[in-house]
Structure 1
Amino acid sequence: MKNKLYTIACGLLIAVSGGAQEVEFTEYDLDNGLHVILHQDNSAPVVTTSVMYHVGGKDRTEGRTGFAHFFEHLLFEGTKNIGRGKWFEIVSSNGGQNNANTSQDRTYYYEVFPSNNLQLGLWLESERMLHPVIDQKGIDTQQEVVKEEKRLRYDNSPYGQFLPVLGKNLFKVHPYKDPNIGYMKDLDAATLEDVIAYNKKYYVPNNAVLVVAGDINIDQTKKLIEDYFAPIPRGEEVVRNYPKEEPITQQINAKAYDANIQIPATGLAYRTPGFKERDAYVLEMISTYLSDGKSSKLYKKIVDDQKQALQVGAFSIPQEDYGMYLVFALPVGDTKLDVLINEMEEEIAKIRTELISEKDYKKLQNKFENRFVNSNSSVAGIANSLARYNMLYNDTNLINKEIEIYRSITREEIKEVADRHLKPNQRLVIDYLPKEKAKN
């Protein structure tokens, strides 16, 4: 009876995910190259206006790291029609909220307003794109903001340097070797001319996607977009030609020290394909198999059964050109780090050499079906997904059909991909250790 009910439940889940989650959208280009995506959802009187720029931490020259993240802050300073420091005041006083974030590959700005303020949201983003005020005072102000963020999130945060250490060791020539936030000496060395040139190169309509999602009228919204964005001049085409990494063919060993921790960590890391590659989807399934939930293979074995680790995890860090894949653990008591390495490798080796069970495979499929059902639960989330799939995957409709990729992945493919990318000679082994703070 249980099996019958389980089968019925799975069938219902697939039926729901196959139809109810369909996201309808309209997309087109303005003459200046700005790609526009509109999603109408009149179920609540809210609207999200957002712009994603195809610029991230990797878009820099040597000695000028961190510009994209710096611009995430700088472009809130003000414009010719918005006074310095007035941006957030305008948004909040009109019942809205806004934010921005930057990855190694893109920068995303958005506002969420009551739908009667759609025009305000479009005006704000057109102001940001058309004529931001970039001057030395704004640069000096935002340099201090970024420095404080770096101190808070990286320098003084427990395990805050773990991911930067991975990038430094997994990449030798590609810009992913440097942290998204950059190095403060590079920002300190940046001139006003450097910053203005960066803005002129990357923050242009033909390097951006505008998404408007929520309680809108499509025709009226198109007219407003034409009025606010069509006059913005097209920029030069952005050409990227980043150096390729040589394959890792021999284990890399690294140590790092953190004065903010008392418990060490250890990890296995791998350089993997960019997120558009099919193998990246398979690796995402492998990380879920290994460590998603207390019944996952690594957690049950190392934390529950053998009580060797306080925490264990496996996750993929998706990026456009190359990904990073990390399996890590924090030891219990006197458990040696090399013991944790061996235990983690034992589970990875099983995936490389054996098919996962049918039961575990069905469990994986159900988890990804469930994620798909819940993935577009808000208008703001839909806006982000539409921009990301269009800009970084060149396929806006992945918002509806990406689940088909996961459904098509087989047990045999999971084994093949693990064997292709997660071998011992392809890995970085990192010991992340406490460092005694210097006494005053």
Structure 2
Amino acid sequence: MIDFQNFVLDNGLKVYVHQDITLPTATVNLLYNVGSRDEDENKTGFAHLFEHLMFGGSVNIPSYDEPLQLVGGENNAFTSPDITNYYISLPSDNLETAFWLESDRMLSLSFDPKVLEVQRKVVIEEYKQQYLNQPYGDAYMKLKALAYKVHPYRWPTIGRDIKHIEDASMDDVKSFFHKFYVPNNAILVVSGNVVFDDVRRLAEKWFGPIPSGEQYLRNLPQEPVQKESRVEHVEADVPLDAIYKAFHIPERLHDDYYTADLLSDVLGRGKSSRLHQELVNKRRLFSNISAYISGSMDPGTLNIHGKLNKGVKMEEAEAGIQEVIRSVIEEPLEEEELEKVKNQAESTIVFSEMELLNRSMNLAYAAMLGNPDLINEESRLIQKVEAEGIRKLAANRLVASNESTLYYHSRTK
């Protein structure tokens, strides 16, 4: 059970406090309700670019990292299609330093042209390293574009076209910042050896004077129901052939979300999963194969990804995957197998909560979803899933008309 208290500042900033006096440390997690799904399709990659720009200094603090390091703190951030998340870990005695740093860059990012040029180059290089110069690096970029035709999930967080970052102007950057990086579009979680009243005082002191921005009303295009199988073949200098699949599944707050999660675990979580047991251990069609869900706020995907063993034909590997999928639909899930995947899912939650930072991030995300208590309800929701529910979801979703497949062929056979 993760206990928390919360309050809202007059400017709309939502603040959550989780106390754990067993630790000498604190975490300050600031989640901005903006991800790559909120971008203009002709100006993509901005959410991720801002993850970098926010460390380039503010008007009053030219070096963000230096003051934090002087008080024994560390920080980082990440961007997803749904959120951008910044976090600081530091000794709880120095908590105010984190409030000072985070509030100042929310209020007055430097917009130094030199910083923009440096971070622009960093992002372009990251794009080349992760997507262009790495084996299979562009696979999920291509799969997302195959599975989604309308929704912004069709491009990756780094952007649909790196030219959008190359051409980004300072006016573009400022417009994005003032639209999304405002108190009423953020959630602050403070955890650790902290006192609620102290956090409230610090929040009002450092964040309270920051003006709220115009309320962002998300109105994204909804992805139409897929009605036909989609297939794409690519060829590249990679060591092995590979298959990537995506099936559309319900959104994060849907009643069937945890059913889809456990279905993916039955199929491809770990070496005891059906795909691994049948296609890696028994039939030797794949060197490795896994299944997992995207976990996105809007309707996401259940993904299957495997690399074929040398000499195995795509058609044979594809048939093997389909046989395993049929087994989930046609063969009732034994109680022991259901219990196994439930225990795996719960153990992930339990181990995650051992880390204070994870608790902070999970609470911020749950609050952003509109239900902070979700952080304490996940185990119950997992236990509610029934074997028949998994079978029905597989029968409805793991079908050809809902399937997108990327066949990744190796030139180096």
Give the alignment's TM-score, normalised by structure 1. 0.91
Mapped to 2, the partners of 1:367 and 1:394 lie a distance apart of 26
Shift of 1:93: 2.2
Residue 31 of structure 1 corresponds to 10
Are the counterparts in 1 of residues 45 and 158 from structure 2 also a CA contact under 8 Å? yes
Amino acid of the structure 1 residue aligned with 2:225: P
Amino acid of the structure 2 residue aligned with 1:225: A
Residue 142 of structure 1 corresponds to 119
Where in structure 2 are the equivalents of 1:27-426 lying within 5 Å? Answer: 27-83=6-62, 86-182=63-159, 183-259=161-237, 261-391=238-368, 393-426=369-402
RMSD after superposition: 1.3
Mapped to 2, the partners of 1:263 and 1:147 lie a distance apart of 27
Amino acid of the structure 2 residue aligned with 1:70: L
Are the counterparts in 1 of residues 243 and 406 from structure 2 also a CA contact under 8 Å? yes
Report which stretch shifted further, 24-33 or 130-139: 130-139
Shift of 1:371: 2.4
Amino acid of the structure 2 residue aligned with 1:431: Y
Report which stretch shifted further, 31-40 or 347-356: 347-356
Tell me the secondary structure at the aligned position of residue 27 of structure 1: strand
Q: Deviations over 1:279-334 (max 9, x none)?
A: 22111101111122222211111111111110011111121112121112211121
Mapped to 2, the partners of 1:275 and 1:258 lie a distance apart of 34
Are the counterparts in 2 of residues 329 and 340 from structure 1 also a CA contact under 8 Å? no
Shift of 1:354: 3.2
Residue 19 of structure 1 corresponds to none
Tell me the secondary structure at the aligned position of residue 133 of structure 1: coil
Amino acid of the structure 2 residue aligned with 1:88: D
Mapped to 2, the partners of 1:369 and 1:380 lie a distance apart of 18
Are the counterparts in 1 of residues 16 and 190 from structure 2 also a CA contact under 8 Å? yes
Tell me the secondary structure at the aligned position of residue 26 of structure 2: strand
Q: Deviations over 1:205-263 (max 9, x none)?
A: 0000001001111111211111001111010010221112221111111123333x211
Amino acid of the structure 2 residue aligned with 1:389: A
Unaligned runs of 5+ in 1: 1-21
Amino acid of the structure 1 residue aligned with 2:394: A
Are the counterparts in 2 of residues 50 and 125 from structure 1 also a CA contact under 8 Å? no
Q: Sequence identity, in percent?
A: 34
Are the counterparts in 2 of residues 161 and 258 from structure 1 also a CA contact under 8 Å? no
Tell me the secondary structure at the aligned position of residue 38 of structure 2: coil
Are the counterparts in 1 of residues 12 and 212 from structure 2 also a CA contact under 8 Å? yes
Give the alignment's TM-score, normalised by structure 2. 0.97
Report which stretch shifted further, 189-198 or 350-359: 350-359
Shift of 1:394: 0.9
Mapped to 2, the partners of 1:290 and 1:350 lie a distance apart of 10
Mapped to 1, the partners of 2:223 and 2:371 lie a distance apart of 26
Amino acid of the structure 2 residue aligned with 1:427: E
Amino acid of the structure 2 residue aligned with 1:371: T
Shift of 1:340: 1.3
1:428 matched to 2:407? The reply is no
Mapped to 1, the partners of 2:253 and 2:201 lie a distance apart of 34
Tell me the secondary structure at the aligned position of residue 125 of structure 2: helix
Shift of 1:352: 2.2
Are the counterparts in 1 of residues 249 and 302 from structure 2 also a CA contact under 8 Å? yes
Q: How many residues align?
A: 411
Shift of 1:435: 4.8
Tell me the secondary structure at the aligned position of residue 98 of structure 1: strand
Mapped to 1, the partners of 2:89 and 2:245 lie a distance apart of 40
Mapped to 2, the partners of 1:306 and 1:188 lie a distance apart of 47
Amino acid of the structure 2 residue aligned with 1:104: P
Q: Deviations over 1:139-187 (max 9, x none)?
A: 1111001011112222112221111111110111111111210122111
Tell me the secondary structure at the aligned position of residue 238 of structure 1: coil
Mapped to 2, the partners of 1:29 and 1:423 lie a distance apart of 45
Are the counterparts in 2 of residues 165 and 256 from structure 1 also a CA contact under 8 Å? no
Report which stretch shifted further, 221-230 or 131-140: 131-140
Tell me the secondary structure at the aligned position of residue 283 of structure 1: helix
Mapped to 2, the partners of 1:257 and 1:127 lie a distance apart of 48
Unaligned runs of 5+ in 2: none
Tell me the secondary structure at the aligned position of residue 48 of structure 2: helix
Tell me the secondary structure at the aligned position of residue 249 of structure 2: strand
Mapped to 2, the partners of 1:238 and 1:282 lie a distance apart of 31
Mapped to 2, the partners of 1:275 and 1:255 lie a distance apart of 30
Tell me the secondary structure at the aligned position of residue 61 of structure 2: coil
